[in-house]
Amino acid sequence: MIAMLSMALIMACQQAKTPVTTRFCWALAEVESNCDPCAVNAAENAVGWLQIRPIYLRDVNRIIEAQGLRDELFILSDRTDPKKSIRMAQIYLEYYARHLRSKGYRIGYPEIAAIHRHGPGWRPWRQTALDHRRARVIKTRMGIKD
């Protein structure tokens, strides 16, 4: 069962052909939930292998509607579907990374992971020790050397 589930996660990641890459999705899922699509953080109402909260999902749907793509709206139960979670993360993270880059910020994978965790109000000077530890884990999982 676990091997089959891991294979489904890998395949879902591989179908993501955007800057939020396969290796990044996998590394982020490891940090967020240890790759458990049924993981729940009751304190934050975060669900799924990417630990997506309802406000994150609403923001994704707002971005989708602003782009005129009403066919792709998500519902809360989609957070446990790895493929849909990847798509939500791609939409959300690419939107806010692009926004911050347009304001002159240098945005790489550690910063994208911090945006995923903190939301659109995150700024580089607000990084916490936990953000730095998570960034190290993600870089290691992705094979990125400092």
How far is 132 from 28, CA to CA, in rounded Å?
13
Residue 128, judged by CB atoms within 10 A of its CB (0-12, 13-18, 19+), counts as: exposed
pLDDT at 46: 95
What's the pLDDT tens digit per position in 61-78? Answer: 999 999 888 788 999 999
Q: What are phi and psi of 47, to 5 degrees?
A: -135, 150
How far is 10 from 25, CA to CA, in rounded Å?
9
Answering whether pTM is above 0.85, one says: no
**What share of the chain has pLDDT > 70, as a percent?**
68
How far is 73 from 5, CA to CA, in rounded Å?
24
How far is 89 from 101, CA to CA, in rounded Å?
17
pLDDT at 92: 92
pLDDT band at 128 (very low <50, low <70, confident <90, very high): low
pLDDT band at 120 (very low <50, low <70, confident <90, very high): confident
Q: Assess whether pLDDT exceeds 70 at residue 6.
A: no
pLDDT at 50: 94
Domain segments of the chain: what residues? 2-142
pLDDT at 132: 64
Sign of dihedral through CA atoms 76, 79, 84, 89? positive
In the chain, DSSP assigns E strands to: 40-41, 46-47
Token pair 């800057």 in the structure block, residue: 19
Beta pairing class for 46-47 and 40-41: antiparallel
Topology, domain 2-142: Lysozyme (1.10.530)
Lowest-confidence range among 65-69, 117-121, 125-129?
125-129
